Amino acid sequence: MTDKGAHPADTPLYPIREVSRITGVNSVTLRAWERRYGLIRPKRTPKGHRLYAREDIERVERILQWLSRGVPVSQVKELIDQPQSAPAAEPASGDWPSQRRQLMTAIEALDQGRMETLFTQALALYPVATCLVELWQPVLRELEEHWSDQLGAALQRRCLEAFLRTRIGIRLYHANRLAKGPVLLLAPLPDDPGTLWLLLAALAASDAGYQVQLLDSALPFAELPLAVERLRAAALVLVSGRAERADLIRRQLPRLAEQLDAPLGLCGPVARIRSGDLADSLVELLGDDLPLAMARMRPLIHEP
């Protein structure tokens, strides 16, 4: 093995898939942190397979702490290599504002090549939850403000939906084959003009370990209990970027929650906007922070 002196011989070692499970950082990102930035140095078996000690896992957790504070991945090594007794200096700013500006520009210009680069690079270097919170959710909120009175907004929305449907769909396909968590059925509400919040919610759900069943167009409410039953879903999550109609929120959603044999969650901007209308219902308000919404859903699910 390489780096023989890095850890005592009797230190337990973990393969990359186990480190990914423990930390929530996918194996592609772990490899990128090692190759590009030297953030971690796992041992290697004679066949080249990576093995991580407990100290490596703790180092990954410290990396995540810095990333969650907005520190660019290129600056993390200097910070975590400082002696523990020395106070770590706060960086002046992270690189997320720059990435958000670049992504906005690419979307408005319909530059799919640049969108592909930004999407791929961000997910290779940062956890999915960080990318959603720091990049995609803020950009989507800003876009929706601009789209309310901008010529060409419909074209930008549809192009972005097509882009994300393909990229996230591929990730869901491969993740569902490996996921061991409960089945989560995600569907849009009827007044949402598109599927952007739905697609990002599906990405957050997959990252949280759910097996994701995604319906990218609204079903009649009468058919949703059948969908939950036939797809063996442990929970149903409805998503919208709009306020939705008052009657649907105040009457139809609570009635649907009573009919289901599984929890009904509501996420996206609709959950924030309509929280006062559903406070006394069986509908679970998950909020519009998508990774947090999926974490809130977990304790509500009764797994066999």
Task: Kindly report, residue by residue over 55-70, the tens digit of the pLDDT.
Answer: 998 888 888 888 877 7
Domain CATH code at residue 43? 1.10.1660.10
Same domain, 113 and 68: no
Domain of residue 25: give its range. 13-80
157 close to 144: Cβ distance less than 8 angstroms: no
- The stretch 139-164 carries a mean pLDDT of 90
Structure tokens at 233: 């879903």
Q: Tell me the mean pLDDT in the region 251-267.
A: 95
Determine the average pLDDT of the residues in 229-247: 95
Given a contact cutoff of 8 angstroms between Cβ atoms, the answer to whether 236 and 228 are in contact is yes
Residue 283: what pLDDT? 94
94 pLDDT tier (thresholds 50, 70, 90): low
Q: Average of pLDDT values for 118-125?
A: 90
More confident residue, 165 or 24: 165
Q: How buried is residue 70: exposed, middle or buried, by Cβ count under 10 Å (0-12/13-18/19+)?
A: middle
Helix orientation angle between 27-37 and 112-125, rounded to the nearest 10 degrees: 90
Does a structural domain hold residue 4? no
Q: Does residue 5 belong to any structural domain of this protein? A: no
233 or 145, higher pLDDT: 233
| Whether 201 and 279 share a structural domain | yes
What DSSP state is assigned to residue 89? P
Summarised one tens digit per residue, pLDDT across range 170-188 is 999 999 998 889 999 999 9
CB-facing half-sphere around the CA of 274: CA atoms within 13 A: 30
Question: Are 46 and 125 found together in one domain?
Answer: no
DSSP assigned state of 85? T
Q: How far apart are CA 76 and CA 64, in angstroms?
A: 9
The confidence score (pLDDT) of residue 88 equals: 45
On whether both 177 and 31 belong to a single domain, the answer is no
The CATH number assigned to the domain holding 161 equals 3.40.50.280
| Long-range CB contacts for residues 209-212, cutoff 8 Å, separation at least 24 | 209/179, 209/180, 209/181, 210/179, 210/181, 210/182, 210/183, 210/184, 210/294, 211/176, 211/179, 211/181, 211/182, 211/183, 211/184, 212/172, 212/175, 212/176, 212/179, 212/183, 212/184, 212/186
Helices (H), the chain: 16-23, 27-37, 54-68, 73-80, 96-108, 112-125, 128-131, 137-147, 153-178, 196-207, 224-230, 246-247, 253-259, 269-273, 290-297
- pLDDT (tens digit per residue) in 283-292: 999 999 999 9
Question: Is the pLDDT confidence value at 127 over 80?
Answer: yes
Size of the chain in residues: 304
Residue 72, token pair as written in the block: 């660019």
If DSSP states are collapsed to H, E and C, what string results for 206-244? Answer: HHCCCEEEECCCCCCHHHHHHHHHHCCCCEEEEECCCCC
Residue 92 pLDDT: 41
pLDDT at 293: 95
Note whether residue 88 is domain-resident.
no
Least-confidence region, from 77-91, 194-208, 249-263: 77-91
**Residues sharing a CB contact under 8 Å with residue 259, sequence separation 6 or more, in sequence order:** 225
Q: Is residue 166 part of a domain?
A: yes
Rounded Cα–Cα distance for residues 231 and 259 (Å): 16
- pTM value is 0.78
Indicate the residue among 28, 53, 80 that finishes a domain: 80
Compute the mean pLDDT over every residue in the chain, rounded to the nearest whole number: 88
Domains contained in the chain, number: 2
Does 71 lie in the same domain as 133? no
Least Cα distance to 102 among 51, 139, 60, 127 occurs for: 139
**pLDDT tier for residue 91 given thresholds of 50, 70 and 90:** very low
Are residues 151 and 286 located together in one domain of the fold? yes
- Is pLDDT above 90 for 279? no
From residue 106, give the alpha-carbon distance in Å to each of 4, 110, 152, 270, 290.
46, 6, 14, 27, 23
Q: How is residue 108 written in tokens?
A: 């408005």
Tokens representing residue 1 in the block: 């093995």
